[in-house]
Amino acid sequence: MGNSLTCLPKKGARGASRTGSKRSQRSGRNTASEEEMIHRQALAMILQQNQLSQRFDGSMSRRIGSTSSRRKNLSESATNGKLTAELIGNMETKKFVLVHGEGFGAWCWYKIISLLEEAGLQPVAVDLKGSGIDHTDPNSVTTMAEYAKPLLDYLQNLPGDEKVILVGHSFGGACVSHAMECFPEKISKAVFVAATMVSDGQRPFDVFSQELGGTEMFLKESQLVSYGNGGDRSPTSFALDKQHVKALYLNNTPPKDMALAAAAMRAVPLRPMMERVVLTGHRYGKVRRYFVQTMEDRVLSPDTQERLVRVSPPQGVYKIKAADHCPFFSKPQALHKILLEIALLT
């Protein structure tokens, strides 16, 4: 495949030449500068979570304007979350591949998997590298290609001309974008659920950083960052505080799912989040995109989500009222019906 080299994890070169010592020194200074930048950005993200958690803790509500849904009319069977054999037969694909966001795993999609299966479709959820039940240490995951490898492997192994609908949540949206660049011929549609729908050359972190504003960074916050390569190097993973998760990610989520998330969420590899994603019009641009906005989201605000769709307009935008950042927990039926509608679009 012509673009495969950019879609696979790269191994580091060994044995640098001694003749380029000056160049190596300059490279070392650049690396140190990059390490410091990543360190500061990681601390900024931690502080932002802490501040937002305090801001939204308790019964505070946020005014967000109109929450009207831009839905197209569906047949009665699809609106009820069920599909007839005729409707299923007319679909380009029945397969959904569900891609989790930062800290989550394939487990977070359990309600959506059940609903899609009941509708006669074929959902699959993947664990990204270092997530869910994947045994990889998150601190060892250094690139987007490595982080998304389980998804890329799944797409590469699809038989013949079979296609899937990709669904990405939060940071998983960047992984979906990367997969679209690698395997556009394998993807029928891509759905971004409160996700980092990045533009070419943008880092997934840039989407989250729009929420930061002008924050002061304090070293006391660094206990939530792990330094897998030593304290003098840049941080390698970021732990999501359980109280912050409840206040920011799960503000409208049922208690049982809160308990599940608190027990199952893992640290987030930082390097892939800081990597600039390369997207081209003739590959990524070939796949139809849809965005699902979550209207009571405290991680990616409705304003930030609206900005994402203005910068890179998708084919369709859907809004879910009273949905927090995790609609697969807080509003699974509404998300399910949107996925059915998108699957039926031709």
Active site residues: 170, 297, 325
Q: How many helices (H) and strands (E) does the chain have?
A: 14, 9
Determine whether 135 is exposed, middle or buried from the number of CB atoms within 10 Å of its CB (0-12, 13-18, 19+): exposed
Cα–Cα dist 324/81, whole Å: 21
Listed residue (313, 294, 300, 112) closest to 199, CA to CA:
313
Contacts of 25 (CB under 8 A, 6+ apart): none
Determine which helix (DSSP H) or strand (DSSP E) holds 254, and give its type and residue range.
none
β pairing state of 122-126 and 95-99: parallel
Contacts of 155 (CB under 8 A, 6+ apart): 97, 164, 179, 182, 183, 186, 187
Gyration radius (Cα) of the chain, Å: 20
Helical ranges in the chain per DSSP H: 21-56, 76-79, 85-89, 110-118, 144-147, 149-156, 172-182, 204-209, 242-244, 255-264, 271-274, 302-311, 327-330, 332-344
Beta carbons within 10 angstroms of residue 275's beta carbon: 18
Cα–Cα dist 94/123, whole Å: 8
Cα–Cα dist 28/227, whole Å: 19
